[in-house]
Chain A
Amino acid sequence: MHVVANDHPHPNYCLLKLTADQALPEMLPGQFVEVLVEGSSTTFLRRPISVHFVDPQANELWLLIQLIGDGTRKLATLQAGDKLNVLLPLGNGFTTSDLQPQSHCLLVGGGVGTAPMLYLGACLKAQGITPNFLLGARSAGDLLQLDHFRALGPVYLTTEDGSMGETGFVTNHSVLKEVRFDRIYTCGPKPMMMAVARYAKAEQIDCEVSLENKMACGLGACLCCVEKNHEGHHVCVCTEGPVFNVKELSWQI
C-alpha cells in the first residue's frame, strides 16, 4: 500500500490514509491490520492497528494511530507516496447484521479506542441505523475526528479533566441514565471496557468489546495474544476476536 496523507491531529496521534493499486478487500468494522514498521531499529514485530475508516470510493483505508513507542513514532514520519507493507483484513468485526433499523446502539470509545468506532458508526449508518457515540479521553485534545463522528449521529463526550463534555469517565455520562440502549459496542483501555460491560450487564444490554492484547503474528499461529473465554480456555484475540461478546469471556464483572 502507499501513503496518501499522514495528518497530525494531535502531537500524540497520526492519521494515516493509505491506498493500494488494486481495490481494497472488503473490511468489516472492528477488524484490524498488521503494519510492518521499517527503519526503526528497536521495532521488530508488526503493529496491530484497528481500522479507523474505509472509503471505498477513494479506495482508502484510514488508521488513527496513538504514538506510544518507537514503532508508532516511525509511522508518524511517513509521508505521502511512501510505501507501507500491511497485512489485512484481520480478525472478526462487530455484530451488526441482527440489528433492527430502530435499534438504539451506543458506541463507546476511550482514548485511541475511539478509532474503530468511526467505521462502525459509518457502517451502521449505511445500514439505516443512527449510531450514538460516547467518547471519552483524558483531555479535550485527545478527542479526535469529532466532526466525522458528529456527521453520523449524536456524540456524547467525557474528559477526565473536564476540558470538554462531562467530567469523568464514559460510564459517568448522564446519557446512560437518560437513554435506554439495546446494544453497546466498546473499545478502549481494559478497565474502561470492563466498566462499560458492567453497566451493560446490570442494564441487560448486549455488549461487544474489542480487545487489544499484545500480539505477534495476527494469524492465530503464535498463540501470544490469548484471552480466557467463558469456558476457561485460552483463545487468540487475533483470530477469535478482536471483537468478543462479553458473555464469551471470563471477565469478572
Chain B
Amino acid sequence: MADLRTSIGNLQLKNPVMTASGTFGYGIEYADLFDIARLGGICVKGTTIQPREGNNYPRMAETPSGMLNAVGLQNKGAHYFAEHIYPTIKDIDTQMIVNVSGSSVETYVECAEVIAELENIHAIELNISCPNVKQGGMAFGVTCSGAAEVVRAVRKAYPKTLIVKLSPNVTDITSIAQAVEAEGADAVSLINTMLGMAIDAEKRKPLLSTVTGGLSGPCVKPVALRMVWQTYHAVQIPIIGLGGISNWKDAVEFMLAGATAIQIGTYNFVDPTVSVKVIDGLNDYCDRHGFKSVQELVGALDV
C-alpha cells in the first residue's frame, strides 16, 4: 500500500486524483454511484459572480474519442453557490475546489472574494481558459499580460490556494505558466479544452449553436501530456495535469511527465466510477514498481 498523499501549495490531498470542473457537477450528482470522499479533490462547476444561462442548445457534439462542448459556463452565480450549494457539499471529506470565472478582472475578483469566505473551500481554480464565452474566459488566458493581470488582481483578494487553469490554445503554454507563477499562483492546471468544431455535412450546419467549442476526451491526451512535460521544465510551482485521462495508466503518464496531481474530466461521462479505479490503479502501480509514495512519480520520466 503506497502513500498516495500529496499536496498542491498548502492544499493537502489524500491522493492525487481529482475530478475536473464541468464534468462532475458539484460531486453530489455522483454520490449514489460511489463514495466520492475517496477522491483527492473535486473541482466543481465553473462559477461566476452573476448567474449565467450558458449558450443555446445544441451544446455538445461527439467526436472520435472525445467530444466538443459549448456549455458556456452555465451556473447560478457565486452567491447562490455560497447559500444553497456549499452547505450541501461542505462536509464531504475531500477537497472541494471552486472553479472561478469572470468576464472582467473585477468580476473574477468579486467571485473569488465570495468563495474566499467559505470556510471549507481551501482552493480555487481560476479559469482563464474557457473557450465558450464571448467575454473574458480564454481571452485572459491566451496572452501573458492578460493572464498576469487577472492573477495579480485575484492573488491580492484570495489568500488561500490559487490554482490557475491554462488554455492549450496558445503558441507557448510555458510562457503563460511562467507569467502566472510570477504573479503568485500556487499551481497551474492544464489543459482546458482545445478549440474545435464539428459540421453536419448533410444539413450543411454546424453541430454546435456557437459553431466552435471545446474539444476534450482521450483525443486530446497526447497534446495535454506534451504541455505538462514542457511546463514542468518551465515553472517551479506544482502542475495539475488533465486532458483525456481515462484510466490509471494515463494518470501515471501525466505524473511521470511532471504532474503532481491529475484531474479526470470527460471520461466521467463514459464511466462515472473511473476516478476510483484510477486511485486503485495508481496504488497498484506504485506497489509494483516499488514506489513508497506516489510523489516519487512526479517528473520521473526516464528520457
User: Contact residues of A with B, CB < 8 Å?
Assistant: 36, 41-46, 85, 87, 213-227, 232-234, 239
Contact = CB atoms under 8 A, between A and B. Distances in A.
A227 B71 contact: no
Given A42-B64, A44-B65, A44-B217, A221 B57 contact: no
A92 to B, nearest CB: 15
State which size class the interface on B falls in.
20 to 34
Interface stretch (B24-32, B93-101, B189-197, B233-241): B24-32
Contacts of A218: 269
Given A44-B66, A223-B74, A213 B57 contact: yes
A216 B25 contact: no
A31 B269 CA distance: 18
A44 B272 contact: no
By secondary structure, the B interface counts as: loop
B53 interface: yes
A222 B22 contact: yes
A224 B71 contact: yes
Interface in B244-284: 268-272
B54 interface: yes
B165 interface: no
A36 B271 contact: yes
Given A214-B58, A220-B29, A45 B270 contact: yes
B268 A217 contact: yes
Contact of A222 (B23, B57, B218): B23
A46 B272 CA distance: 11
14 contacts: A36-B271, A43-B62, A44-B66, A44-B218, A45-B62, A45-B270, A46-B270, A219-B29, A220-B25, A221-B30, A222-B22, A222-B269, A234-B53, A234-B57
B104 to A, nearest CB: 23
A216 B67 contact: yes
Contacts of A213: 57-58
B59 A226 contact: yes
A227 to B, nearest CB: 7
B269 A223 contact: no
B30 A226 contact: no
Contacts of A239: 29
A64 B41 CA distance: 39
B60 A214 contact: yes
Given A44-B64, A220-B29, 4 more contacts: A44-B62, A222-B60, A222-B69, A227-B57
Given A224-B71, A234-B53, A219 B25 contact: yes
A224 B30 contact: no
Contacts of B69: 216, 222, 224
Contacts of B10: none
B155 to A, nearest CB: 29
Interface string B13-36: 000000000111100011000000
A216 B60 contact: yes
Contacts of A224: 59-60, 69, 71
